[in-house]
Structure 1
């Protein structure tokens, strides 16, 4: 089967405020405010499409002009919208983000969409979606019903599932779901709730040891933890790949969307058959290019990928 990735996740509209000078939490901050397309699922599927993979988004949008605008942009990127129905209200979420003068996130509030329409579609068409896909991406914190159903159907069809967390609410109550993923990718803050309560304060060698122990003891297939500006670590229980990937130099504009971008690049590498140690290089590159953009997605991914020597060496392997 030709690679075709279905992404099950949310669509958001993000309101971002960028401070011109030093951000003061309780003061007035001059800057700029932008509305951009967001949501973990939407971010990831656009990235994957711009990186050259055939994709579909399994989600919902509002039955509104803004919903149509989001669908138009995804269509232009080449994303299939067969599984993207419009809901009368709350088909999309909203995310309010504040960024300091360095483009670093300093505060946020999320309003989740109503998942009823998405859940109904997944329960009715989940087998069809999985059967049409070579690989699946799952925003695993949607709700237990959606996550468990998609993972169980994918398991029956022997289709790899790559998991990305939302708020950990579902994961923390259903840790067995992680064992059914081909790869799970999270950040260091999330790792503190899963791997080790003091994870962020550990030395690199201790982080690697904690990750390996967690994956082995919990029975995960593979896991990657991003460390922000410090890079990422990874472990594959099947191949015993354990390692560290540093970041590449970037000019920081906006760090929001970087985690979704890292996930997207890494998943693209895995879908193309790369080892985990090579796939995280993709992820690191895509995250860096996204950090240099004010949007949640770098609109020049295809061009940057073609011009990057590291990317091209991996692609021809």
Structure 2
């Protein structure tokens, strides 16, 4: 193999490798390495700085990464007293969960998050790297504790209460995101969760409006709906549940018609499409490729006895939708169905992200009804 091809293989293995490291491994001068890189760029085999390979444009997932602690009651919960529980810990965070689902489906994925300099932070990044997620652009905050999410589940596996310590996400400022512009520049899709500060969300919207890279925003809780800008021009897709939708608009949405009306107001504010998740009931979503049409899609059936833990199901849904839109960008009904399939798999496992994922698991039987 020629030195040029050897260099290309090193870059393929680590797109962030430095010229000094390349020179040392190949026993070349820095000037020789620079010459080879220039030739590879001219040939179209890499795309300039950061040595981006043209066939591996990744999903860029930006937002929360933390340790999940799940406590599940061994019987009916009783308030105001001690309840026997089982405990399970795993890696979590909305952006991180979405990234792991995508990576396990075989997609090139890059995670931009913030972690502390503690053991939890190192463990989060090591595990992400082990499943194929590129974490080189993430932020390390000295002296800080990494994020945590503690969920209390009832004896049926349904979420009762969750407590999130996500302060490090405040470090994902516009200035930080600009400092990672090179690592974000070749995204085939950007997925951001709303742990990001409001001005960072605005930056991503402004960029998407200019560069036309699809941007998907995922709501994470009712309190953090204040982080969604008023104007949403540039946003390809907003995914939120009905409680978050109500928080945005300040009134109850009890019927499908009321939810659709609120969703259309979001579209009037600039977002192309909206998905409203309704848990085991299914989803409502707009489809701008069919004018102003909205569709209801029933949830993929899961026997109640098969439900182990609902934590992570929503993130799996988002990953399935985004993975499908990469393959067929104009088929949102198919994307929603695939997202529901991934969510149905996830609720049957104790892990926040199902471990045995592959793209061939999807079937194409869609149970959606236009409204």
- Report TM bin, short chain: 0.7 to 0.9
Partners of 1:22 and 1:196 in 2: CA distance: 33
What does residue range 111-130 of structure 1 map to in structure 2 within 5 Å? 111-115=165-169, 117-119=171-173, 120-125=175-180, 127-130=181-184
2:141 corresponds to which residue? 87
Residue 242 to residue 104, structure 1, CA distance change in 2 (3 Å) = same
1:117 is displaced (CA, Å) by 4.2
SS of equivalent residue, structure 1 residue 260? helix
1:273 is displaced (CA, Å) by 2.0
1:148 is displaced (CA, Å) by 1.7
Out of 91, 97, 108, the position equivalent to 1:43 is 97
Residue 223 to residue 91, structure 1, CA distance change in 2 (3 Å) = farther
- Contact kept in structure 2, 1:123 and 1:146, CA below 8 Å: no
1:256 corresponds to which residue? 311
Mapped pair 1:246 → 2:298: yes
Mapped pair 1:231 → 2:289: no
Residue 62 to residue 224, structure 1, CA distance change in 2 (3 Å) = same
Partners of 1:97 and 1:61 in 2: CA distance: 20
Greater RCO (Cα-Cα under 8 Å, separation 6 or more): 1
- Contact kept in structure 2, 1:141 and 1:171, CA below 8 Å: no
Mapped pair 1:222 → 2:273: yes
Mean Cα deviation higher: 163-172 or 242-251: 163-172
Could you give the per-residue CA deviations for residues 147-203 of structure 1, whole angstroms, max 9, x where no partner exists? 12223233332211000113355643653353321000001111112357221x21x
2:368 corresponds to which residue? none
- Contact kept in structure 2, 1:10 and 1:39, CA below 8 Å: yes
Partners of 2:158 and 2:108 in 1: CA distance: 32
Mapped pair 1:288 → 2:288: no
- Contact kept in structure 1, 2:197 and 2:227, CA below 8 Å: no
Could you give the per-residue CA deviations for residues 53-112 of structure 1, whole angstroms, max 9, x where no partner exists? 101001122222222221122112111112123222336311121000000001121112
Aligned residue pairs total 306
1:266 corresponds to which residue? 321
Mapped pair 1:297 → 2:353: yes
Mapped pair 1:309 → 2:360: no
Could you give the per-residue CA deviations for residues 25-72 of structure 1, whole angstroms, max 9, x where no partner exists? 223211211221111111111111111210100112222222222112
2:36 corresponds to which residue? none
2:25 corresponds to which residue? none
Could you give the per-residue CA deviations for residues 238-270 of structure 1, whole angstroms, max 9, x where no partner exists? 432421111112221111111111111111111
Partners of 1:24 and 1:101 in 2: CA distance: 11
Unaligned runs of 5+ in 2: 1-53, 366-371
SS of equivalent residue, structure 1 residue 278? helix
Mean Cα deviation higher: 216-225 or 15-24: 216-225
Partners of 1:193 and 1:130 in 2: CA distance: 31
TM-score by length of 1: 0.88
TM-score by length of 2: 0.76
Residue 246 to residue 62, structure 1, CA distance change in 2 (3 Å) = same
Unaligned runs of 5+ in 1: 312-317
1:181 corresponds to which residue? 235
Could you give the per-residue CA deviations for residues 108-161 of structure 1, whole angstroms, max 9, x where no partner exists? 211123245432431322x31331212111113410222122232333322110
